[in-house]
C-alpha cells in the first residue's frame, strides 16, 4: 500500500515537470491561438469571401447548395413529420475555400519567418574574447614552435 502511494507521488512529480516545460506551454498557447485564428478565418470566408464569390458566380450562395436525397414529409397542419435528407455539398465547398485561405496565410507567415531567420543567420557574430586558459595555451604552443 505504501509503495503505491510513492509511485503515484513520483508520477505526479514527473507529470508536473513535464507539463511545466516550455514546449508544452508553447503548444497549449499555439492550440488556443489556432482556435482564435480559425474563428477569424471562418468569419472572413463566410462574411467576406463567400458573398464576393457568390456575386461573381451569379448570386449563388454556396452554403445553400445541396443534393436532396429525400424531401421533407409534412402533415396536413404543416408540421414536419420527417425532415429533409440532403447532402450539403455547398458547406463542403465553403470548407475547402476556408482551407485554401488558411493554407495561404500559413504559407505567408512561414515565408516571412524564414526571411527574418535567414537575415539573423547571415549577421556575423563577433569572435569571443579568448579565455585565460586559451591565451596561456597559445603562448605555450608558440614557445614550443620557437624551440
Q: Is residue 130 domain-resident?
A: no
Q: Residue 49: what pLDDT?
A: 80
Q: Is residue 146 domain-resident?
A: no
HEC secondary structure over the chain? CHHHHHHHHHHHHHHHHHHCCHHHHHHHHHHHHHHHHHHHHHHHHHHHHHHHHHHHCCCCCHHHCCEEEECCEECCCCCEEECCEEECHHHHHHHHHHHHHHHHHHHHHHHHHHHHHHHHHHCCCCCCCCCHHHHHHHHHHHHHHHC
Q: Is residue 65 domain-resident?
A: yes
pTM for the model: 0.49
We report the CATH number of the domain holding residue 80 as: 1.10.1200.120
Q: Residue 3: what pLDDT?
A: 59
Domain that holds residue 25: 2-122
Q: Residue 22: what pLDDT?
A: 67
Q: Is residue 98 domain-resident?
A: yes
> Along the chain (147 residues), what's the average pLDDT of each consecutive run of 10 residues?
64 77 77 84 80 80 84 86 88 83 82 81 72 87 86
**How many independent structural domains does the chain possess?**
1
Q: Residue 23: what pLDDT?
A: 75
Q: Residue 10: what pLDDT?
A: 77
Q: Residue 92: what pLDDT?
A: 87
Q: Is residue 35 domain-resident?
A: yes
Q: Is residue 137 domain-resident?
A: no
Q: Is residue 86 domain-resident?
A: yes
Q: Is residue 133 domain-resident?
A: no
Distances (CA, A) of 109 to 31, 33, 104, 115: 16, 14, 9, 10
Q: Residue 103: what pLDDT?
A: 82
Amino acid at each position: 500500500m505504501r509503495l503505491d502511494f510513492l509511485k503515484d507521488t513520483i508520477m505526479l512529480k514527473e507529470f508536473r515537470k513535464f507539463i511545466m516545460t516550455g514546449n508544452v506551454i508553447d503548444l497549449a498557447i499555439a492550440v488556443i491561438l489556432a482556435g482564435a485564428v480559425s474563428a477569424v478565418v471562418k468569419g472572413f470566408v463566410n462574411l467576406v469571401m463567400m458573398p464576393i464569390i457568390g456575386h461573381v458566380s451569379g448570386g449563388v450562395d454556396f452554403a445553400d447548395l445541396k443534393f436532396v436525397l429525400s424531401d421533407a414529409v409534412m402533415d396536413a397542419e404543416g408540421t414536419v413529420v420527417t425532415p429533409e435528407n440532403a447532402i450539403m455539398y455547398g458547406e463542403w465547398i465553403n470548407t475547402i475555400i476556408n482551407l485554401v485561405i488558411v493554407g495561404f496565410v500559413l504559407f505567408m507567415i512561414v515565408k516571412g519567418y524564414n526571411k527574418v531567420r535567414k537575415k539573423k543567420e547571415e549577421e556575423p557574430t563577433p569572435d569571443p574574447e579568448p579565455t585565460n586558459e586559451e591565451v596561456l595555451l597559445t603562448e605555450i604552443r608558440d614557445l614550443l614552435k620557437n624551440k
